[in-house]
Amino acid sequence: AQKVTQAQTEISVVEKEDVTLDCVYETRDTTYYLFWYKQPPSGELVFLIRRNSFDEQNEISGRYSWNFQKSTSSFNFTITASQVVDSAVYFCALSSQGGSEKLVFGKGMKLTVNP
C-alpha cells in the first residue's frame, strides 16, 4: 500500500528564514509521481509541483525548491526567505501511474511565518 509521511505537524518561523518541509513516501511501484499542494487559510488546494520517479533532478521555482532523493524515498520542499504569505498547510502526495491515479496525501504540515 502507498503511504506518505510528513513527520512535522507544525513549524513556526520568522520572516526571511529558510524552512524545509519533509516528506517520506512508501510505494512498491516503480513508476510513481510525487506532488506538493499548498492549502492557505482560505481552504483551497493549490498545486505546487509534480515530479515523476525517474526524474531525480532538483527543481527550483523562485523561492521554492524541491529535493527528490529516491535512495531515501524523500521529496523535501524548501522555502527560501519565507514570507508571511507562505503561511499555510502544505501537503505532500503520491500517485501511481495507471488505474485511477488517485492521490494519497500525507497529514500535512502547518507553516506559520511571523513578521
Partner 1 sequence: EPEVTQTPSHQVTQMGQEVILRCVPISNHLYFYWYRQILGQKVEFLVSFYNNEISEKSEIFDDQFSVERPDGSNFTLKIRSTKLEDSAMYFCASTPGNRGRGAETQYFGPGTRLLVL
Q: Which of 15, 16, 18, 50 binds partner 1 (CB under 8 A)?
A: 50
Q: What is the DSSP letter of 37?
A: E
Nearer to partner 1, 57 or 100 (CB): 100
User: 79 or 89, CB closer to partner 1?
Assistant: 89
The three cell numbers of residue 43 are 481552504
Binding part of the chain for partner 1, among 20-28, 43-51, 56-64, 74-82 by CB under 8 A, reads 43-51
